[in-house]
A and B are shown apart, each in its own frame.
Chain A
Amino acid sequence: MLLRRRDDLVCQQVVELVTDYLEGALSRSDRRRFDAHLRKCPNCTNYLAQMRATIRATGSLHQDDLTPEVRTELTELFRDWRDGGP
């Protein structure tokens, strides 16, 4: 049986450190422990990739397609506001 070093991270800790890792907020030594864990743990490597995929998918939510009706309404609102109306 392989003995775990005292400072090795376990998966349950890794999933709580993922955001600090992605944000570059881990200390240098914690980052080393994190990287060392990833090298031998395919599950946590998948987990990190899933988090990155989640962030990318969230980032694609922002486009709204405007209908022509809304465009017309907006143009009118814009004129009102610009000209100092209510």
Chain B
Amino acid sequence: METDGELLTRLRSGDEDAFVMLFGRYNGSLVRLARAYVPSDAVAEEAVQETWMGVVRGVDRFEGRSSFKTWLFRILVNRARTAGTREHRDLPLSDAEPAVNPSRFDSAGAWSEPLQSWADLDDRLVAATWSTSLNDALSDLPPRQREIVILRDVEGLTSGDVCDVLGLSEGNQRVLLHRGRSRLRSVLESELASRGR
């Protein structure tokens, strides 16, 4: 698979296929991310389209000081924040939801029931059968958690890049990442339980 950098070089020389490939690689995440800022799919898609236009027109100005991904998501976040009507702020951290429902622990804070091992599950099978519930669960995350999980875990940006794109401290990023990941884990756990495994 070609790297982003290689595709970018082709894009600079006007290669249409390179654009289509970059689009295929990132459009889904851009749409998911934009939805964290704006009230409707239509507005989100508009912000995403403007982002791609910005990429095509601005590719010569991209100096490669950050990765392409980081640059791309920064453009999107800027567009989406402009388009977003919703006030985009952190909930107070004190409203924290625990990672695991407290009823799962005994009075001493130990698990009251054994926790299932997922070790025998095949990752690729898991990804294929879970992708719908994971996608839904991702859309249901509070916006701040959602954007961080998308950038970190779907797109694989480093924590430093995510902080840079979103203007967050490392500490706040970790708190929100923790909530988001914990929620996704519990959704997958319920999904497995409901299949009677």
Contact = CB atoms under 8 A, between A and B. Distances in A.
Contacts of A53: 118, 121, 123, 126, 188
A38 interface: no
Interface of B: 14, 16, 19-20, 23-29, 49, 52-53, 56-57, 98-100, 102, 105, 108-111, 114-119, 121, 123-124, 126-127, 130-131, 134-135, 138, 149, 153-156, 159, 170, 174, 177-178, 181-182, 184-185, 188-189
Interface in A59-86: 59-66, 71, 74-75, 77-79, 81-82
A12 B138 contact: no
Main secondary structure of the interface of A (DSSP, over half): helix
Main secondary structure of the interface of B (DSSP, over half): helix
A62 B25 contact: yes
A81 B115 contact: no
19 contacts: A16-B178, A18-B182, A23-B174, A42-B114, A46-B115, A46-B118, A50-B118, A53-B188, A54-B184, A57-B127, A57-B130, A57-B131, A58-B134, A58-B153, A59-B156, A61-B28, A63-B25, A66-B23, A81-B53
A8 to B, nearest CB: 10
A51 B102 contact: no
A49 B118 CA distance: 7
A6 interface: no
A51 B181 CA distance: 7
A81 B61 CA distance: 15
Interface of A: 10-13, 15-16, 18-20, 23, 25, 42-44, 46-47, 49-51, 53-66, 71, 74-75, 77-79, 81-82
Nearest to A13: B109
A58 B149 contact: yes
Contacts of A54: 181, 184-185, 188
A13 to B, nearest CB: 7
B119 A49 contact: yes
Nearest to B175: A19
Contacts of B126: 53, 57
A11 B56 contact: no
A29 B113 CA distance: 28
A54 B102 CA distance: 20
Given A56-B123, A81-B53, A46 B117 contact: yes
